[in-house]
């Protein structure tokens, strides 16, 4: 017997209808690439999104066509999220930090029809245009006064396009499984692969992101969206934040600590979300530049961190200096991305801070709607006992079922599991502890050494700013760990002091065979340590046998 409840499609336009009616005056604040603070609200954004939808229809775009963006976190980029998806088109957010060859590949592969770009990306756009024959027009995200002199065919002014468009676009209704956004994974090897989200997956993911033990946004929150709109739908913040009617603060391209501090202070930020490197730099700057009293005046309550492991020291510093909880989240472009979050359980109430930190440095528990599982080398299920280590697999309504255009073939097994390529243990409470990427794990004498765990411990050394551990070939043990350290400014740690520090904290056979010091570590376009690059530079480092 079927239930007798209404069945309405889960569409992104419903979020816009909601905020327009219930939170029209709630602010969207953004710092434009030229540094100017711009204030608007959900009511105005909804109107402009409607105009954009009319304009795109006028340009001849048909449902399913791809509209790409090369843009920072600004209000225009935010309204494009809604104007494009609400009208049944697909928004392809492109990471401008990728290499030009990768950009050409993904934009051709996606068959982008129009591209909206921040004027600061004009040189990039000019270099890409000759290689993108399918692009019919380039829309500069600015008004007439700021139009760049870009040498591209069919250059359009965004504000003029909107001004000339009909304001009364009616959001169409369609199948909730229709595609809405497209993001390419920044694979470190091979070509990037497209992850195509649906309206249904996006709304379910947004609702889950707002659960109390996830990001728990409310109408009282002021959210600093440090995570870029071009990275995995900015972790759903444009959707989950709006579903809550929260104020959204978009920092544009300036993610340096001082600029972020300024927004935290002036915009009453309660929740800030970004990757660990951002927080690492932020804390170092705050420690050097701000007093306890100034820090105490912030309204910050929660820092969300994901995309890479959060160092213990970052969690401790936010607790001690700010009185703020760091909520670690784990996910991937392929999982929309939110899959697990590190919220405490009732049993953590009143436990010692050190015990709480042990929980916080893990990647968290699955949110409702996602299932995580652990699998051994032969595909056998491993117990969630906190000790067994294997590949982490996930399934759920916002997990990928296949890459765009079938690239990479079958990605789900018969039971619907998607292999993440991450290596982890899961404890009996369900907290996932990531130990590595399958390709980064150090295979020493038939055992696995976790690069992430050694990095995390090295980061607790007072002279270490950032650390990376890679595998280097070894004649006897097959692979051994090499620790690469970027020291804190003004500090000159020695190899011996680092190894002494590690020796009391990790097993003897996990001890790095060598430590090298560098002035900076390379990162990927999404802020992860670029270990392929490190392996190229230091792969032959080890000379010791034995």
Residues labelled as active-site residues: 185, 334, 443, 448
Strands 464-474, 447-449: parallel, antiparallel or unpaired by DSSP? unpaired
Of the candidate residues 41, 178, 333, 456, the single one contacting ligand AMP (CB under 6 A): 333
The CB-of-334 to ligand AMP minimum distance in angstroms stands at 6
Beta-bridge partners for 395: 371
Report in angstroms how near the CB of residue 301 gets to ligand AMP at its nearest.
20
> Would you count residue 162 as binding ligand AMP (CB under 6 A)?
no
Which residues in 186-205 contact ligand AMP (CB under 6 A)?
186
Rounded Cα distance between 421 and 404, Å, is 19
Residue 489, preceding peptide bond in cis (omega within 30° of 0): no
Tell me, by CB under 6 A, how many residues bind ligand AMP.
20
For the segment 312-331, give every residue that binds ligand AMP (CB under 6 A). Answer: 328-331
Three-state DSSP class for 205? Answer: helix
* Backbone dihedral angles phi then psi of residue 329, each to the nearest 5 degrees: -125, 150
Candidates 45, 309, 367, 458; binder of ligand AMP (CB under 6 A) is: 309
Span near ligand AMP by CB under 6 A; candidates 124-132, 306-314, 375-383, 493-501 = 306-314
Q: Which of 16, 308, 442, 515 lies at the binding interface for ligand AMP (CB under 6 A)?
A: 308
Strand 222-225 to strand 247-250: parallel, antiparallel, or no bridges (unpaired)? parallel
Residue 27 or 422: the one with the smaller Cβ distance to ligand AMP is 422
Q: Cβ closer to ligand AMP: 337 or 396?
A: 337
- Give the residue among 390, 333, 69, 71 at the shortest CA–CA distance from 187: 333
3-state secondary structure at position 464: strand
Residue with the closest Cβ to ligand AMP? 333
Beta-carbon count within 10 A of 541 CB? 17
- Closest approach, Cβ 255 to ligand AMP, in A, equals 17
Going by C-alpha positions, the residue among 239, 249, 242, 244 that lies closest to residue 206 is: 239
The DSSP secondary-structure symbol of 484 reads E
Any contact of residue 97 with ligand AMP (CB under 6 A)? Answer: no
Per CB under 6 A, contacts with ligand AMP among 523-542 are: 526
- Does the protein bind ligand AMP through residue 422 (CB under 6 A)? yes
Copy the structure tokens of residue 189.
């090897």
H or E element, residue 482: strand 478-487
Estimate to the nearest angstrom the gap between the alpha carbon of 125 and the chain centroid.
Answer: 24
Q: Does 337 bind ligand AMP (CB under 6 A)?
A: yes
Q: How far is the CB of 41 from ligand AMP (least distance, A)?
A: 30
* Using rule CB under 6 A, residue 307 touches ligand AMP: yes
CB 82 within 8 A of CB 12: yes
Return d(Cα 427, Cα 444) in angstroms, integer.
24
- Smallest gap from Cβ 187 to ligand AMP, in A, equals 9
By C-beta, is 210 or 526 nearer to ligand AMP?
526
DSSP state of 146: G
Residues that bind ligand AMP (CB under 6 A): 185-186, 232, 306-309, 328-333, 337, 363, 420, 422, 434, 437, 526
């Amino acid at each position: 017997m079927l239930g007798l409840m209404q069945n309405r499609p889960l569409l992104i336009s419903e979020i816009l209808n909601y905020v327009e009616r219930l939170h029209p005056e709630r602010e969207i604040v953004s710092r434009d690439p030229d540094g100017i603070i711009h204030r608007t609200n959900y009511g105005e954004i909804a109107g402009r999104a409607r105009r954009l939808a009319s304009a795109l229809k006028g340009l001849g775009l048909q449902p399913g066509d791809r509209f790409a963006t090369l843009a920072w976190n600004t209000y225009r980029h935010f309204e494009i999220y809604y104007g494009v998806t609400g009208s049944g088109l697909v928004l392809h957010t492109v990471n401008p930090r990728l290499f030009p060859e990768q950009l050409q590949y993904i934009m051709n592969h996606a068959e982008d029809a129009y591209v909206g770009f921040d004027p600061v990306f004009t040189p990039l756009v000019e270099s890409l245009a000759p290689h993108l024959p399918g692009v019919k027009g380039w829309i500069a995200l600015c008004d007439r006064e700021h139009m760049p002199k870009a040498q591209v065919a069919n250059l359009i002014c965004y504000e003029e396009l909107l001004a000339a468009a009909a304001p009364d676009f009616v959001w169409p209704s369609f199948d909730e499984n229709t595609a809405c956004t497209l993001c390419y994974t920044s694979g470190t090897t091979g070509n990037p692969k497209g992850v195509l989200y649906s309206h249904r997956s996006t709304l379910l993911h947004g609702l889950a992101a707002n659960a109390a033990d996830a990001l728990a946004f409310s109408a009282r929150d002021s959210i600093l969206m440090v995570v870029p709109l071009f990275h995995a739908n900015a972790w759903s913040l444009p959707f989950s934040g709006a579903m809550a009617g929260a104020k959204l603060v978009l920092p544009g391209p300036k993610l340096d600590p001082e600029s972020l501090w300024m927004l935290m202070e002036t915009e009453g930020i309660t929740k800030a979300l970004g990757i660990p490197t951002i927080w690492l730099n932020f804390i170092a700057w705050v420690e050097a530049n701000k007093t306890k009293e100034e820090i105490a005046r912030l309204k910050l309550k929660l820092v969300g961190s994901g995309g890479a492991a959060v160092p213990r020291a970052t969690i401790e510093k936010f607790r001690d200096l700010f009185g703020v909880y760091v909520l670690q989240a784990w996910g991937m472009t392929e999982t929309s991305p939110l899959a697990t979050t590190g919220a405490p359980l009732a049993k953590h109430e009143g436990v010692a801070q050190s015990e709480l930190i042990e929980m916080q440095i893990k990647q968290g528990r699955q949110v409702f709607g996602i299932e995580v599982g652990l699998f051994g080398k032969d595909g056998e299920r491993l117990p969630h006992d906190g000790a067994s280590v294997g590949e982490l697999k996930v399934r759920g309504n916002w997990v990928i079922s296949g890459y765009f255009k079938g690239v990479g073939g079958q990605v789900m097994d018969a039971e619907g599991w998607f292999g993440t390529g991450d290596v982890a243990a899961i404890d009996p409470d369900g907290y996932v502890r990531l130990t590595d990427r399958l390709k980064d794990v150090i295979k020493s004498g038939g055992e696995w050494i976790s690069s992430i765990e050694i990095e995390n411990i090295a980061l607790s050394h007072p002279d270490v700013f950032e650390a990376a551990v890679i595998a280097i070939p070894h004649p006897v043990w097959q692979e051994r760990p090499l620790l690469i350290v970027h020291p804190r400014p003004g500090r000159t740690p020695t190899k011996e002091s680092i190894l002494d520090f590690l020796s009391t904290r990790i097993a003897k056979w996990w001890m790095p065979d060598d430590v090298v010091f560098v002035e900076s570590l390379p990162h990927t376009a999404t802020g992860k340590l670029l270990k392929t690059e490190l392996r190229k530079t230091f792969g032959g480092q080890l000379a010791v046998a034995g």
